[in-house]
Amino acid sequence: MALMTGKEYEESLKKMKMRIFLFGEEMETAVGNPILQPSINSIKATYDLAHMPEYEDLMTATSNITGEKINRFTHIHQSAEDLVKKVKMQRLLGQKTAACFQRCVGMDAFNAVYSTTYEVDQKCGTNYHENFRKFAAYVQENDLVVDGAMTDTKGDRSLAPSKQADPDLYLHVVERRPDGIVVRGAKAHQTGIVNSHEVLVMPTVAMGPDDKDYAVSFAVPLDSEGLVMVVGRQSCDTRKTENTTLDVGNDVYGGMEALTVFDNVFVPNDRIFLNGETEFAGMLVERFAGYHRQSYGGCKVGVGDVLIGATALAAEYNGAEKASHIKDKLIEMTHLNETLYCCGIACSSEGTETASGNYLIDLMLANVCKQNVTRFPYEIARLAQDIAGGLMVTLPSEKDINHPVAGAYIKKYFAGTSTTPIENRFKIMRLIENLTMGTAAVGYLTESLHGAGSPQAQRVVISRQSNMPGKKALAKAIVHIED
447 as an active site residue: the answer is yes
Catalytic residue from among 126, 299, 341, 436: 299
Catalytic residue from among 74, 104, 128, 347: 104
Short-list 98, 156, 106, 166, CA closest to 136: 106
In whole angstroms, give the CA distance from residue 76 to residue 97. Answer: 24
In whole angstroms, give the CA distance from residue 201 to residue 212. Answer: 15
Catalytic residue from among 10, 77, 97, 100: 100
Catalytic residue from among 10, 257, 398, 433: 257
Catalytic residue from among 296, 317, 359, 444: 296
236 as an active site residue: the answer is no
In whole angstroms, give the CA distance from residue 30 to residue 79. Answer: 36
257 as an active site residue: the answer is yes
Catalytic residue from among 191, 278, 311, 439: 191
In whole angstroms, give the CA distance from residue 230 to residue 187. Answer: 11
104 as an active site residue: the answer is yes
Buried b / exposed e over 120-151, threshold 16 CB at 10 Å, is bbeeeebebbebbbebbbebbbebbbbbbbbb
- Torsion from C-alpha of 63, 66, 70, 75, nearest 10 degrees: -40
417 as an active site residue: the answer is no
Short-list 172, 355, 169, 134, CA closest to 278: 172
What residue numbers does the annotated binding site for FAD cover? 191
253 as an active site residue: the answer is no
Buried b / exposed e over 438-462, threshold 16 CB at 10 Å, is bbbbbbbbebbeebbbeeebbeebb
332 as an active site residue: the answer is no
Question: Which amino acid would we find at residue 231?
Answer: V
In whole angstroms, give the CA distance from residue 133 to residue 227. Answer: 24
In whole angstroms, give the CA distance from residue 11 to residue 8. Answer: 5
CB 2 within 8 A of CB 68: no
Catalytic residue from among 292, 316, 354, 436: 292
What residue numbers does the annotated binding site cover? 191
378 as an active site residue: the answer is no
- Residues annotated as catalytic are 100, 104, 191, 257, 292, 296, 299, 447
